[in-house]
C-alpha cells in the first residue's frame, strides 16, 4: 500500500525568476533567449512511501502511476543497474580536464555558457556562487541553495542530459546499418547512458511537481537541443563526446555540492527522518535498507555521472570510426576492462585500445 508521510509545497516562482528560467532554458540549449516575465513556475516537494507498482494514493498526484493490469505484477527496469559499493561512491571527486584542442575549447566554453545561464535560472545570488576560477571543482559558497533551487537544477539538468546518448546511439546505429559494418559496442553504452539519465529524471520527478511553465521550457529546450546534438554528432562526434564529458563534470560538481550542503545541515527537508526517497530509485539502484536517504540517493546519481564523465572523455579521445568501446570489451592477458567513474579525465587512446 502506498502511504503518505508528509506533504511539502514550496513555491519558487517569482515572475522575475520565471523570466530568467525561460532565458536560461533556451540559451542553455541553443544560445537563444526568449524571456517572458508573465510566466510563473511552481514546484511541489513532498516525500512519500510508495510501492513502485501499486495504485497511487489519491491525496498525492502521481505523475506516472504504474498501469494496473489483470496479468502483469511488476515491470522491473529493463536495463538493470550494475551497482556501486559505498567506497566507490565516496571516492568520486569533482574534477576538470583542461581543454587541449580547439574542439575541446569549443565544447568547454559551450558548457560554461550554459552553466552561466543555469545559475541565473535557479535564481542563484552572488553569495550562492562558488569560486568561478574553479567552476567544476570548488564547492564552497557563502550561502547554500534551497531544496527547491536544487530540484529545479536537477530536473532541468537531467532532462537535457538524457538527450546526447540517445542521439549518439541512434546515429551510430543508423551508421552501422548504412555502412553494413559493426559498431563495436558503442551503441549500447550510449543508449544505456540515456536510459540512466532518464531514471535520474524520473526519480526527481517523483519528488517534485514541475509546473506547466517548466514543462514547456523542457519541451522547448529538448526540441532545440536534440536537433543541435543531431547535427553536431554528424559533423564532429568527438566534440559532442567532449561536450557531454564537460556537462558531466558539471553534473558531478552539482551533486557534490548538494551532498555537501546536506552534510552541512543546510537542507533540512532532505534530512528529516520522515523524508523517504521514491521507490522507483530504490528499485533501480537496488538501494539497501538503511541507505535510503536523500544523501545516499545523490551519491548513487553522482557515481553514475562520474561514469558518464570518464566514458565520454575517453570516447572523445578515440577514433570514432574504428576503435572498439573499451568499457564493454574483453581484454588480452586477462586484463580488466577500465572502470570510468574514478578516471575523471578519461583514458587516453593508447591506454585502452
Binding site for Fe ion (CB under 5 A): 158, 161, 197, 200, 248, 251, 305, 308
Nearer to Fe ion, 2 or 218 (CB): 218
Nearer to Fe ion, 13 or 233 (CB): 233
CA distances to 177, 205, 206, 240, 283 from 63, rounded to whole Å, are: 37, 8, 7, 32, 18
Q: How far is the CB of 197 from Fe ion (least distance, A)?
A: 4
Q: How far is the CB of 157 from Fe ion (least distance, A)?
A: 7
CA distances to 6, 256, 288 from 302, rounded to whole Å, are: 26, 7, 17
Nearer to Fe ion, 242 or 308 (CB): 308
Place of cell 545541515: 265
Q: How far is the CB of 178 from Fe ion (least distance, A)?
A: 28
Q: How is 201-229 classified by DSSP, letter by letter?
A: HHHHHTTB---HHHHHHHHHHHHHHHHHH
Task: Give, as one character, the DSSP assignment of residue 70.
Answer: S
Q: How far is the CB of 201 from Fe ion (least distance, A)?
A: 7
Nearer to Fe ion, 261 or 305 (CB): 305
Q: How far is the CB of 254 from Fe ion (least distance, A)?
A: 9
Nearer to Fe ion, 40 or 310 (CB): 310
- Give CA–CA dist 77/284, Å, rounded: 6
What are the start-end ranges of the H helices in the chain? 15-30, 86-91, 102-121, 147-179, 186-205, 212-235, 237-263, 268-271, 279-285, 294-317, 349-352
Place of cell 531514471: 199
Q: How far is the CB of 233 from Fe ion (least distance, A)?
A: 17
Nearer to Fe ion, 146 or 159 (CB): 159
Amino acid at each position: 500500500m502506498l502511504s503518505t508521510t508528509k506533504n511539502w509545497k514550496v513555491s519558487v516562482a517569482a515572475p522575475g525568476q520565471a523570466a530568467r528560467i525561460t532565458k536560461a532554458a533556451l540559451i542553455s540549449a541553443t544560445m537563444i533567449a526568449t524571456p517572458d516575465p508573465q510566466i510563473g513556475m511552481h514546484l511541489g516537494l513532498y516525500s512519500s512511501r510508495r510501492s513502485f507498482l501499486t495504485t497511487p494514493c489519491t491525496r498525492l498526484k502521481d505523475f506516472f502511476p504504474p498501469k494496473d493490469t489483470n496479468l502483469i505484477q511488476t515491470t522491473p527496469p529493463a536495463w538493470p543497474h550494475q551497482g556501486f559499493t559505498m567506497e566507490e561512491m565516496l571516492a568520486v571527486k569533482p574534477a576538470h580536464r583542461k581543454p587541449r584542442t580547439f574542439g575541446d575549447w569549443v565544447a568547454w566554453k559551450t558548457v560554461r555558457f550554459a552553466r552561466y545561464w543555469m545559475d541565473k535560472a535557479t535564481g542563484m545570488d552572488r553569495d550562492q556562487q562558488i569560486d568561478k576560477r574553479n567552476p567544476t571543482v570548488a564547492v564552497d559558497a557563502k550561502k547554500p541553495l534551497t531544496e527547491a533551487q536544487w530540484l529545479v537544477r536537477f530536473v532541468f539538468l537531467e532532462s537535457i542530459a538524457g538527450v546526447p546518448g540517445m542521439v549518439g546511439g541512434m546515429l551510430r546505429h543508423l551508421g552501422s546499418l548504412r555502412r553494413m559494418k559493426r559498431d563495436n559496442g558503442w551503441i549500447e553504452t550510449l543508449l544505456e547512458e540515456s536510459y540512466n539519465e532518464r531514471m535520474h529524471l524520473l526519480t526527481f520527478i517523483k519528488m517534485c511537481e514541475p509546473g506547466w511553465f517548466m514543462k514547456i521550457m523542457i519541451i522547448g529546450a529538448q526540441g532545440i537541443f536534440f536537433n543541435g546534438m543531431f547535427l553536431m554528432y554528424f559533423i564532429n562526434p568527438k566534440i559532442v563526446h567532449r561536450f557531454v564529458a564537460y556537462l558531466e563534470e558539471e553534473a558531478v560538481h552539482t551533486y557534490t555540492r548538494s551532498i555537501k550542503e546536506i552534510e552541512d545541515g543546510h537542507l533540512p527537508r532532505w534530512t528529516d527522518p520522515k523524508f523517504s526517497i521514491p521507490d522507483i530509485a530504490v528499485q533501480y539502484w537496488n538501494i539497501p535498507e538503511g541507505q535510503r536517504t536523500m544523501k545516499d540517493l545523490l551519491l548513487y546519481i553522482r557515481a553514475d555521472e562520474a561514469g558518464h564523465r570518464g566514458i565520454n572523455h575517453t570516447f572523445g579521445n578515440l577514433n570514432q570510426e574504428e576503435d572498439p568501446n573499451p568499457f564493454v570489451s574483453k581484454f588480452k592477458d586477462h586484463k580488466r576492462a577500465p572502470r570510468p567513474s574514478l578516471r575523471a579525465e578519461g583514458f587516453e587512446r593508447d591506454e585502452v585500445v
